[in-house]
Structures are given as structure tokens and as C-alpha cells.
Structure 1
Amino acid sequence: MIKTLITPENTSISLELPASFVGKQVEIIAFTINESVKESGEQDYTLTHYASQKSLEKDWLTEEEDKAWQNL
């Protein structure tokens, strides 16, 4: 995983990725820092939810997980 903060100088950005990323799906998420924090100063966890949904579904959406939770 690569995580970085940038301040773009125009409407275009360019990314250099490690060679190990070539041929694989890569998810890019862009939002301003102000979008992730409510005016009241509280963290907006909605963005975290969207960012982690794909990652979590790999572990959670399996037959093994369905069996583990079937009696709850």
C-alpha cells in the first residue's frame, strides 16, 4: 500500500507506481483533507467506510464467514 499527501498545482497529477503493481488492479481515491472532517471537528467515518469496503469484503464475503455467523 502506498499512502501520500499532495497539494496539486493544477488539475492534473501523475503517479509512479512500483513495478509490482503492473498488471494488477489499483484503487485510487482522491479527496481533500477538508472533506474528511466535519465543521464541528468530528471525524467523518463515511469516507473510511468506502475506502475499506473492498478490502473487507475479501475476508467477510466468504462461505466460511457465512457458516461462522449463521447462528447469530
Structure 2
Amino acid sequence: MIRTLLVPDNQDVSIQLPKSFVGKQVEVIAFTINDANDDSLAQDKPLTHYASQNALAKEWLTADEDEAWKNI
């Protein structure tokens, strides 16, 4: 994972990725720090759902999980 902060001086932003990222799906998210700390976003539950959906799917969408929950 690569994480960086920047202050762009125009609308164009360019990033250079490590060679190991080439050919892989990469997610890029852009938001302002003030927006990220805005309390109104914390109240928006669907944002949390979308942010965690892929991470949870890796753990929950497995045959072991299906077996564990089959009787519920």
C-alpha cells in the first residue's frame, strides 16, 4: 500500500507506481482532509458500507464461512 498527502497546484495530478503494481487493479481515492473529517460524512452509513465491502468480502465470501453459517 502506498499512502501520501499532497497539495495540488492545479487539477492534474500524476502518480508513479511501483513496478509490482503494473498489470494489477489499483484503487485511487481522492478527497480533501477537511471533507474526510466532516461530521456529516460520518453520519452517511452507506459510505462505510462501500468502503468496507471489498475488505469484508475477502474474509466472508469463502467456503469456510458458508459452512460455519449454514445452520443459521
TM-score (norm 2): 0.73
Q: Alignment identity in percent?
A: 59
Write the distance in 2 (CA, Å) between the matches of 1:37 and 1:31: 10
Q: Does the residue aligned with 1:54 lie in a helix, a strand or coil? A: helix
- Residue 69 (structure 1) aligned with residue 69 (structure 2): yes
- Determine which structure has the larger helix proportion and give its number: 2
Could you tell me which runs of 5 or more consecutive residues in structure 2 were left unpaired when the two chains were aligned.
none
Aligned residues: 70
TM-aligned CA deviation for residue 6 of structure 1:
1.0
Could you tell me which runs of 5 or more consecutive residues in structure 1 were left unpaired when the two chains were aligned.
none
Supply the AA of the counterpart residue of 1:63: A
Ranked by relative contact order (alpha carbons within 8 Å, sequence separation 6 or more), the top structure is 1
TM-aligned CA deviation for residue 49 of structure 1:
4.4
Q: Does the residue aligned with 2:12 lie in a helix, a strand or coil? A: coil
- Residue 11 (structure 1) aligned with residue 7 (structure 2): no
TM-score (norm 1): 0.73
Write the distance in 2 (CA, Å) between the matches of 1:14 and 1:71: 50
Write the distance in 1 (CA, Å) between the matches of 2:48 and 2:8: 22
TM-aligned CA deviation for residue 53 of structure 1:
2.2
Write the distance in 2 (CA, Å) between the matches of 1:49 and 1:5: 24
> CA-atom RMSD, angstroms?
2.3
